[in-house]
Structure 1
Amino acid sequence: MALDIAKSVKKRDEELLRRIKQDPYTYYAVIECYETLLDILYSLIEATSDMKVVDQIRENLEESIHNRSLVRDFRLDELHLLSDKFNKLLGLLLDIEQEGNDTVKMTQIANLLQDTMEIITQDIMKNGQGILKDENRESQLFANINLDSIKDEAWREKCVRLRLLLTTKESAIYVPINLEARRRMTFFANSLFMKMPRAPQVSSMMSFSVLTPYFKEEVLFSTEDLHKKNEDGISILFYLQKIYPDEWKNFFERIKPKDEESRKSMLDEISRWASYRGQTARTGKVTNSTERAKLEPKDEFLKARMDEISLWASYRGQTLTRTVRGMMYYRKALEIQCSQDKNGIAKLDRRTDPSYQDGESVADMDLAIADIKFTYVVSCQVYGMQKVSKDSKEKARYLNILNLMMMYPSLRIAYIDEVEAPNKDGMTEKTYYSVLVKGVGEKYDEEIYRIKLPGKPTNIGEGKPENQNHAIIFTRGEALQVIDMNQDNYLEEAFKMRNVLEEFESDKYGKSKPTILGLREHIFTGSVSSLAWFMSNQETSFVTIGQRVLANPLKVRFHYGHPDIFDRLFHITRGGISKASKTINLSEDIFSGFNSTMRGGNITHHEYMQVGKGRDVGMNQISSFEAKVANGNGEQTLSRDIYRLGRRFDFYRMLSFYFTTVGFYFSSMVTVLTVYVFLYGRLYLVLSGLEKSILLDPRIQENIEPLQNVLASQSVFQLGLLLVLPMVMEVGLEKGFRTALGEFIIMQLQLASVFFTFQLGTKTHYYGRTILHGGAKYIPTGRGFVVYHAKFAENYRMYSRSHFVKGLELLILLVVYLAYGRSYRTSTSLYLFVTFSIWFMVASWLFAPFIFNPSCFEWQKTVDDWTDWRKWMGNRGGIGMSGEQSWEAWWRSEQAHLRKTSIRALILEILMSLRFLIYQYGIVYHLKIARHSTSILVYGLSWLVMLTVLVVLKMVSIGRQKFGTDLQLMFRILKGILFLGFVTVMAVLFAIGGLTITDVLACTLGFLPTGWCILLIGQACAPMIERTILWDSIQELGRAYDNIMGLILFLPIGFLSWFPFVSEFQTRLLFNQAFSRGLQISRILAGQKDIGEFE
């Protein structure tokens, strides 16, 4: 850039200086190149005559700069020739140490120096021809060269840096292959050009702490977990190798022995050991001492390798080990910066500084200052219980946390300790303490503080916020960063912590000093699957462009559970960093933002520093997370904090606050309700006959064409494309709009619209249920790798009431509307514009969980799913039966919210259930057997048929219970009699009454919603009828409906499973190409050794 500027300036030095100073980094780079070049030349020259030549050139250059005649005295457009020569010279100097100090190399260096001087004096300098003419010179110019400096590492680093500054085009060998390395380097380099406060010395910076709440999540992947294979023969280690192939290759190069024989021996031992590990993980515990011995590595070297493999895998999962390693980079960064503060920025090599003669004492002082400025506390809520637990998994978690304290001596663990002790009356009572411990030696923890608590915190509040609040007393400093246990940090980002903390004292905010500093996040789980990529893009847009706009200019950014930095003293005296009241503070993080804003705080957002963040990567995990957030927003809507903020904000800030918090979920609910109102309104018009009379009006006929154009223009937005606009804009800003457009198209090809439409149903269901009934609970999501197939019964349990029931209801509405409507038969395109988005939503709600379920369309998996489904539906509930084991237990748990809700909510639930009676009331008058009668008797007879069907079903249920397995003949006779009676009645109706097949299908569409209405009313009235004979009938009716819904959903899956290409297409859809190949290979090699995992 500087060479181009110099080439273009022809007249004045002032213009050259002004254009170079426009970018201060270019200006400083020019000065650094000049000073470093002189330093290298002087270190190479030995002869006095050669030194005199360089001095003359330097004096002429500095004189021209002083007189501001540089442009007149030098031909600056020839500087590129000089740059090329210096590049070759530096390359030759850097090669000498590796290839030896031979005569040929020295001759080449001398020739390059001579060429360089000729270019400077003859081509660049206008009056420099006489500098090289020296009649008293005894030898050739630069005949004697001093190469002693080449052995100095600091001198070599100068040559490398100068060569990088002079290189205009980067060589491909210097570009990292790893995409994550490229991303981190690119972001760090770009962030240095952003506006950020100047960093003070470490001794003068604000001290800060980091707090991470932890419950029972994964700490470290055990070797059994890594080698345990799922039904497809895929282990976590195999999966990670396919996702991160280059990182695994580099890692294995680091740990493998150098000689081939040792390498082969290690591979054989790893293969044997991994085989037994994987077999044990599948079959259970090993009781035989001989078999147990096989599980242990033969030597300490191999055991260390196994530990390194576990760490390598854990650093790529959402584990506590990864989080702790990332946060401890703060300490390492402060230690390095502290040493640089003492040594001076220019003195980069400690060995050249006399102050580092006593290295150990200085290093200890640096560590001490870093420990004063930084504290890391992990609040492990149940660490004390894990310590004494007999469960192998819990004990392993305790040992892994203990190992973390040994690995990082400055790490502190806080937990709630439960102690049983006799009181004054001699009765045993439980006492609770907040305890802080640290690691001591190699195998022990030492207690630092123990503070008595008035009671068990989690009994009066939500678990996670109480876990944070009890440990906040153990943090230190003026600032506090809250980090979730599925986050990560990077060393280069940790260097910027001093700059970020200066934002608290920045003058640009005036009197409104920041109380919460928001940081951006990088979602590191985006490469796992297509779903993870969708969530990664969605979250990235929210934590960047979304929060940036919320903070400024809207001023409605709050705390969202991300890596925000709190003014610790401000918040610890104003209620803490999170509210913990049961239920109402389910989304505890955002309430700290509400609290800070209401008490005069200022929340800002900063893009020049980022922290890693893991997100849910599977369909069920993502849906659980969305359900949790929707529940939390429902409770926010009912809280007084929202009311108070709404009253205090001005009109525009209030609107911004509404649409960026609970308003988004309320609008989503209204969107879905609008679909219901539209379809039920059209259903009424169709079945009542009003639609036909309206359309016969000539004025309506004239307006059909404009209506079609309007609907066509807005139909695109019905797909929710505006919701992805922030995502496209953020990717466009960071990667270019061509890349953004390409990623958007790829996302649509991978059915991103299906996924986001499905999540719309999740938000609507859980938000609406929380508003109506309250009582939202924390939903654990899990943070594992999704390489397993979720069974059909599991998906049905999770999505039955939130999506499948609603989807089938809308499907019936659309079918009835299509069958009886005459609105758009004259205009097919208009009909499609009106209903296409609704058909799309129905298909998404019904089949998205199966489309995004790995291996869902494999025939053997389909057969296994059907067997498991039938077994689950047939299991009776009882004491000790969970919802995963029995349909009856699950069905009762689905009604738990109705047993705790208010009378008003129950009445509203019953009133909303009455909408299902519209179908029967409208359809029976359109039956051919009704012969166009509008008498109320027709509707009454339909109820008689409905009750007859219910009585017959009840008789079959009683017969099954009464006769059982001992009297199967009697039960079959009963079913035979009922079947003959049904056939007789249907034959008479077909022959005499004029019943048709169309009428039978119509009756099915009309009576199914009526039965569902009866079921919903019965569930709402459960406290009153649970002990009566009606309850068994309600339960059997519910079982019948779930059987019908399950069959409807399973039929398309079973049909598509017949075609093998469907399964392969789904695998390509869900995972990247490398993993798709690995999945096929794993099926072939499932029974073989795992040696391929280590090659």
Structure 2
Amino acid sequence: MREEDLISDSVLTPYFKEDILYSHKELYKENEDGISILFYLTKIYPDEWANFNERLKSDDLEKDMEESIRRWASYRGQTLYRTVRGMMYYWQALILQCFIEFAGDTALSEGFRTEDFYNKNKKFLENAQAMADLKFTYVLSCPVYGYLKKSKNERDKSCYISILNLMLTHSPLRVAYIDEVDENKDGKSQNVYYSVLVKGREKYDEEIYRIKLPGPPTVIGEGKPENQNHAIIFTRGEALQTRDMNQENYYEESFKMRNVLEEFRKEHSGQRKPTILGIREHLFTGSVSSLAWFRLNQENSFVTIGQRILANPLRVRFHYGHSDIFDRIFHITRGGISKASKLINLNDDIFAGFNSILRQGFITHHEYIQVGKGNDTSMNQISVFEAKVASGNGEQTLSRDVYRLAQRFDFYRMLSFYFTTVGLYFSSMVTVLTVYLFLYGRLYMVLSGVEREILERTNTHQSKALEEALTIQSLVQSGLLLMLPMVMEIGLEKGFRSALIDFFFMQLQLASVFFTFQLGTRAHYYGRTLLHGGTKYRPIGRGFVPFHVKFADNYRLYSRSHFVKGLEILILVIVYQVYGESYRSSQLHLFITVSMWFLATSWLFAPFLFNASGFDWVKTVDDWRDWKQWLGYRGGLGIASDKSWESWWDEENEHLKYSNIRGKIIEIILAFRFFLYQYGIVYHMDITHHNKHLLVFGISWAVLIITLMDLKMLSMGRRRFGTDFQLMFRILKALNHLGILIVMTLLFLIFELTISDFFAAIIAFMPSGWAIIQITQACSVCLEGTRLWVSVKELSRAYEYVMGLVIFMPIFILSWFPFISEFQTRLLFSQAFNRGLQISVILGGKKNNYKPD
């Protein structure tokens, strides 16, 4: 096939304000742990750093050493420079292929890229480059390029210069951006928006096209798909490949592109010609931490064996990211490659696949070519990504695209479609709900005495089938089945012996804890999106330097999704252990103690187990001080959520303000489950003398109300006397404590209150108070601005303090022992130890100012 017949294509990369080229300041800037980007990279890639220094000396480039170091570091991070360099390999490979065809065998035998060869074959090289320019275009969609160009900010100016240098260096590169111009019309000033395409010319950019727009395009829908939509008109050719900021390319793989593009002309398995070509991805992250290794194996199994099976034989592969190649003519005439409606198209990628299949398209997957891809390497990055995908799947479940596909698929293809898209997240939610139903069912049976009566009957036998089913369910719950695709992929790639060995080492590195935590993330955000909607795009950071995450940051991110639920399961298990101890079966007891305790501890402590220096004593003390300061800081207009608990609390409950009446009613109904503790436990307290009258439950409510009123009185006293009349406030506190002491003494002496009753009352009343908070939050639209709302906020702050204290205490105790911190570091960075890297040196930072050799 001659080059003239080659399918022309374009590459489109959306960009906003990510890293382009690391500046000198960014390379040497230390984080709070004393680690800079350059210091980290030189320790992680010592051989490449040594080779780089050797090249600098041999090539006499020491005068440009600083610029060379910036490029070296940027090519090892998830930067735009790395992405553009990889995409330009397509152009370079195409030039070489065109030259080989134009020059012929005689010219090739004389050599290549020598001065004499260039002079003799200059015409061939110019023709080859001209043909490559016709067949390949690279468009960088950067809507803020015009803003960066005009900005006075140092970083913005640096980003503009870096993008301009990329255009000047790579002639096929084009930049599409939104230009906002202030124009006068009929004597009135108004903002007019243009979509502009520029290219590099000499020392500046040169405008190619300017298209007037009816309004600001990137504020209508979701940011990234709108970014792509405004730039797709500037692409050229028959094919279009979308590449994200965290991807790169390899030179040897670029020579295969012409073969891949020919797949558009080939009918596959007697079907129609493909409209989307799927491509395998090679993940270049994951060589340092255990988390990155888990994530690499998980993603690798999906982009290889997963997508291979989805494409054939299941025929339910869609578009999952930015490496697929689109039939540009097909898609640009059928709605484009991006759906950008607010909220519903949060996961915009997969809707391109939905759109293609609904319009009689056909999607294939090809593994003889691959592209590079960076991945998330820290616990919080992974969790934010999982939250985004889970929320997006919740919106997909409600979308008309999924409904239409389900209506048109046959039964077996519909099942394949369900279990490979929204069904995975729905099953995760059902798994978690099953745990709740089981525990609350057992709790009711234990506290009501039904279980005792059943087990005391002589004709009652244990249900072995139920126990076996629950045991199998525990395997799902512990995340083991989530690892099965990983084991299969490693087995196919390296052999099943290597797969079993890797599986064993992953278990030693607490992979089950990580995947169980992921299960909670998926269930929470998917369920909340179904119930309330109102999800939002969550930007994912591309940082790769390991750093210690503060306790307050972890608490803000995981409080509602994991910590609250983990504490709830913990209380359920404790109550079941206390009140069901004398009549529990062996296998069911094993299921309760092992499976449920594992689930609760994973949800409560996984972020700290996988946190760099998570059990370092100095950092633990600093974390506690920082968390208390954040919790006590007053919120207000303009106060960020990471500075004040009140601002965070308002943001965390914002979805309830915009939820419909159905979602609020369900939220209130679900909150009533917390009253079950109080209803059941008060009748088991010794002070009741086994009285089953309803009056006992009423008295317990009176005690709870009096307790809440007492807390309210102290809160009012703190606000009124705490600053100017501290003596009065101290007297008030002393009288309050004295009154509580007198009441408790009377209860112990006269009404025979026991120590066990005291702790039972805490377990009974704490969930009831939380239920009151949940119900009032659901009614926030009616209560906000009232005195009751202020009381609810103060009560919530007290609960947050108690929850934080319960979670923090085990971390505080373990941090006393230095060997725990060393063991956790070895566990988290085992991949670095296997490579012979001194991770303690990296985590410890550098004591002196670091300069390259």
Q: TM-score, normalization: structure 1?
A: 0.76
Is the CA contact 2:103–2:124 (under 8 Å) kept in the aligned structure 1? no
Counterpart position of 1:18: none
Deviations 1:89-120 (A, max 9, x none): xxxxxxxxxxxxxxxxxxxxxxxxxxxxxxxx
Is the CA contact 1:636–1:642 (under 8 Å) kept in the aligned structure 2? yes
**CA distance in 1 between partners of 2:523 and 2:228 (Å):** 30
Displacement, 1:729?
A: 1.1
Which residue, out of 719, 728, 731, partners 2:478? Answer: 719
Q: Based on CA coordinates, which of the two structures has the bigger radius of gyration?
A: 1
Counterpart position of 2:453: 693
Counterpart position of 1:309: 69
Is the CA contact 2:604–2:807 (under 8 Å) kept in the aligned structure 1? yes
Is the CA contact 1:691–1:823 (under 8 Å) kept in the aligned structure 2? no
Q: Which residue identity lines up with residue 243 of structure 1 in the other structure?
A: I
Counterpart position of 1:385: 147
Which residue, out of 317, 323, 327, partners 2:87? Answer: 327
Q: Which residue identity lines up with residue 333 of structure 2 in the other structure?
A: T
Counterpart check, 1:836 vs 2:607 = no
Is the CA contact 2:477–2:599 (under 8 Å) kept in the aligned structure 1? no
Which residue, out of 813, 826, 840, partners 1:1055? Answer: 813
Deviations 1:533-552 (A, max 9, x none): 11111111001100000000
Counterpart check, 1:608 vs 2:608 = no
Which residue, out of 389, 397, 400, partners 1:640? Answer: 400
Displacement, 1:689?
A: 0.3
Deviations 1:24-56 (A, max 9, x none): xxxxxxxxxxxxxxxxxxxxxxxxxxxxxxxxx
Is the CA contact 2:482–2:515 (under 8 Å) kept in the aligned structure 1? no
Is the CA contact 2:21–2:74 (under 8 Å) kept in the aligned structure 1? yes
**CA distance in 2 between partners of 1:936 and 1:997 (Å):** 24
Which residue, out of 253, 278, 285, partners 1:525? Answer: 285
Structure 1's 699 and 711: CA in aligned 2 closer, same or farther, altered over 3 A?
Answer: farther
Moved more, 387-396 or 513-522: 387-396
- Matches of residues 858-897 of structure 1 in structure 2 within 5 Å? 858-897=616-655
**CA distance in 2 between partners of 1:510 and 1:656 (Å):** 21
Displacement, 1:825?
A: 3.9
Displacement, 1:1082?
A: 5.4
Displacement, 1:344?
A: 4.1
Counterpart position of 1:14: none
Structure 1's 462 and 756: CA in aligned 2 closer, same or farther, altered over 3 A?
Answer: same
Displacement, 1:235?
A: 1.5
Q: Which residue identity lines up with residue 809 of structure 1 in the other structure?
A: E
**CA distance in 1 between partners of 2:468 and 2:440 (Å):** 24
Is the CA contact 1:1067–1:1076 (under 8 Å) kept in the aligned structure 2? no
Give the total of aligned pairs.
849
**CA distance in 2 between partners of 1:1004 and 1:234 (Å):** 45
Deviations 1:946-1000 (A, max 9, x none): 0011000000000001113210000000000010000001011111111011001
Deviations 1:132-173 (A, max 9, x none): xxxxxxxxxxxxxxxxxxxxxxxxxxxxxxxxxxxxxxxxxx
**CA distance in 2 between partners of 1:349 and 1:650 (Å):** 58
Which residue, out of 682, 691, 696, partners 1:938? Answer: 696
**CA distance in 1 between partners of 2:705 and 2:467 (Å):** 44
Which residue, out of 203, 206, 213, partners 2:4? Answer: 203
Moved more, 350-359 or 383-392: 350-359
Which secondary structure state, in structure 2, belongs to the residue aligned with residue 698 of structure 1? coil
Structure 1's 858 and 947: CA in aligned 2 closer, same or farther, altered over 3 A?
Answer: same
- Matches of residues 922-1001 of structure 1 in structure 2 within 5 Å? 922-1001=680-759
- Matches of residues 1-40 of structure 1 in structure 2 within 5 Å? none
Q: Which residue identity lines up with residue 427 of structure 1 in the other structure?
A: K
Displacement, 1:242?
A: 2.1
**CA distance in 1 between partners of 2:163 and 2:644 (Å):** 37
Q: Which residue identity lines up with residue 558 of structure 1 in the other structure?
A: F
Q: Which residue identity lines up with residue 755 of structure 1 in the other structure?
A: F
Moved more, 407-416 or 975-984: 407-416
Counterpart check, 1:778 vs 2:537 = yes
Q: Which residue identity lines up with residue 552 of structure 1 in the other structure?
A: N
Q: Which residue identity lines up with residue 1011 of structure 1 in the other structure?
A: G
5+ residue gaps in structure 1? 1-199, 263-300
Deviations 1:47-80 (A, max 9, x none): xxxxxxxxxxxxxxxxxxxxxxxxxxxxxxxxxx
Counterpart position of 1:53: none
Structure 1's 507 and 361: CA in aligned 2 closer, same or farther, altered over 3 A?
Answer: same
Is the CA contact 2:478–2:595 (under 8 Å) kept in the aligned structure 1? yes
Displacement, 1:355?
A: 9.6
**CA distance in 2 between partners of 1:706 and 1:672 (Å):** 21
Counterpart position of 1:224: 25
**CA distance in 2 between partners of 1:611 and 1:517 (Å):** 13
Counterpart position of 1:142: none
Is the CA contact 1:695–1:823 (under 8 Å) kept in the aligned structure 2? no
Counterpart position of 1:756: 515
Which residue, out of 558, 562, 583, partners 1:799? Answer: 558
Which secondary structure state, in structure 1, belongs to the residue aligned with residue 326 of structure 2? strand
Counterpart position of 1:438: 199
**CA distance in 1 between partners of 2:237 and 2:804 (Å):** 57
- Matches of residues 230-269 of structure 1 in structure 2 within 5 Å? 230-256=31-57
Displacement, 1:735?
A: 1.5
**CA distance in 2 between partners of 1:328 and 1:392 (Å):** 28
**CA distance in 1 between partners of 2:473 and 2:666 (Å):** 34
Displacement, 1:1027?
A: 2.1
Displacement, 1:915?
A: 0.6
Structure 1's 1089 and 890: CA in aligned 2 closer, same or farther, altered over 3 A?
Answer: closer
- Matches of residues 288-367 of structure 1 in structure 2 within 5 Å? 302=62, 304-344=64-104, 348-351=108-111, 358-367=120-129
Counterpart position of 1:905: 663
- Matches of residues 127-206 of structure 1 in structure 2 within 5 Å? 200-206=1-7
Q: Which residue identity lines up with residue 321 of structure 1 in the other structure?
A: Y
**CA distance in 2 between partners of 1:565 and 1:706 (Å):** 50
Counterpart position of 1:465: 225
Q: Which residue identity lines up with residue 436 of structure 1 in the other structure?
A: L
Counterpart position of 1:427: 188
Is the CA contact 1:432–1:456 (under 8 Å) kept in the aligned structure 2? yes
- Matches of residues 27-106 of structure 1 in structure 2 within 5 Å? none
Is the CA contact 1:920–1:1007 (under 8 Å) kept in the aligned structure 2? yes
Counterpart position of 1:407: 169
Q: Which residue identity lines up with residue 900 of structure 1 in the other structure?
A: Y
Structure 1's 831 and 1085: CA in aligned 2 closer, same or farther, altered over 3 A?
Answer: closer
**CA distance in 1 between partners of 2:668 and 2:601 (Å):** 28
Which secondary structure state, in structure 1, belongs to the residue aligned with residue 459 of structure 2? helix
Structure 1's 715 and 667: CA in aligned 2 closer, same or farther, altered over 3 A?
Answer: closer
Structure 1's 968 and 616: CA in aligned 2 closer, same or farther, altered over 3 A?
Answer: same
Displacement, 1:1064?
A: 1.3
5+ residue gaps in structure 2? none
Displacement, 1:459?
A: 2.4
Displacement, 1:1076?
A: 8.5
Is the CA contact 1:790–1:853 (under 8 Å) kept in the aligned structure 2? yes
**CA distance in 2 between partners of 1:795 and 1:714 (Å):** 29
**CA distance in 2 between partners of 1:826 and 1:575 (Å):** 60
Counterpart position of 2:257: 497
Which secondary structure state, in structure 2, belongs to the residue aligned with residue 561 of structure 1? coil
Identity of aligned residues (%): 63
Deviations 1:312-371 (A, max 9, x none): 111111111100000000000001111112344697434499997632222111111111
Which residue, out of 586, 594, 598, partners 2:346? Answer: 586
Which secondary structure state, in structure 2, belongs to the residue aligned with residue 993 of structure 1? coil
Counterpart position of 1:1023: 781
Displacement, 1:875?
A: 0.5
Which secondary structure state, in structure 2, belongs to the residue aligned with residue 522 of structure 1? strand
